[in-house]
Amino acid sequence: VNGGRRQGSSDDGSVVGVATMTDAVGDRTSAISIAADVDAAFYWDGADGRRLVVQRCDECHKIWHPPGPVCPHCQCLNWTVDDLPLEGVLYATAKVHEPGSPIQGTGYLIALVEIADPLGGEGVRIAGNLRDATLEEARVGAAVMVCFEQLADGHLLPQFRLQGRRES
């Protein structure tokens, strides 16, 4: 599944793959790249398949995010990749003005989204951008769907859009 990713490196040498991305908002920056360490490769591979995935503990069956080598609920080292629903609920949001971002520019919405555990356990929160929405529309509790933005080399980045909102 890693075949499409270029090999990269990081300070601790644990990087197994790199996804590159050109600026999704405009062309104000050169390509960025995201390093995936060995504990998180499953997450970025899942995104490449238009899936939002999470680790589920083989012992206590709970899920967690961000990725890590061990279940933070029971310290079990054995886990299985599981799909999350491609929808969630806005938990917090804000609009970034100055000084903005070398990647996103200015005037973009950041969102922290609650994604339910499909098995009924406690869900997870995932951060991203809320696309094609105003701050006024981005109310806590609003229903959102997961979408994927294409990176320069074909890899995908999970993002969010209000439910029922078409891509502009």
Partner 1 sequence: VSVAWSRAAIVGIGQTEFSKSSGRSERRLAVEAIAAALDDAGLEAADVDGLVAFDADSSDPASLAASLGLPSLTFFASTLYGGGGGCATIMHAAMAVTTGAARVVVAFRAMNERSGVRYGQARLGARPITPALAYSAPYGIHTAAQLFAFNIARYFHEYDVTNADVAPIAVAQRAHAATNPTARFFQRPITVEDHQRSRWIVEPVLRLLDCCLESDGAVAVVVVGTEHSRALRHIPVPVVGAAQGLVGLPMRNWYRTSISGSEECRVTAERLWATSGLGPADIQVAILYDHFLPLVLPQLEAFGFCAPGEAKHFVADGGIALHGGRLPVNTHGGLTGEAYLHGMNGIAEAVRQLRGTAVNQAADVEHVLVTSGPGVPTSALILGGDR
Binding status of residue 143 toward partner 1 by CB under 8 A: no
Binding status of residue 105 toward partner 1 by CB under 8 A: yes
Q: How far apart are the first and last CA of the chain?
A: 31
What are the residues whose beta carbons fall under 8 Å from the beta carbon of 141, sequence distance 6 or more? 89, 90
> Binder to partner 1 among 124, 133, 142, 144 (CB under 8 A)?
124
> Binder to partner 1 among 140, 143, 150, 154 (CB under 8 A)?
140
72: preceding bond cis by omega (within 30 degrees) = no
Report the alpha-carbon distance of residue 78 to residue 71 in Å, rounded.
8
Size of the site for partner 1 (CB under 8 A): 46
Report the alpha-carbon distance of residue 93 to residue 136 in Å, rounded.
10
Binding status of residue 37 toward partner 1 by CB under 8 A: yes
Least spacing, CB of residue 89 vs partner 1, in Å: 13
153 touches 18 (CB < 8 A) = no
Q: Which residues make up the interface to partner 1 (CB under 8 A)? A: 8, 10-11, 14-15, 18, 21, 29, 32-37, 39-40, 65-66, 91-105, 108, 110, 112, 124-129, 135, 140, 157, 159
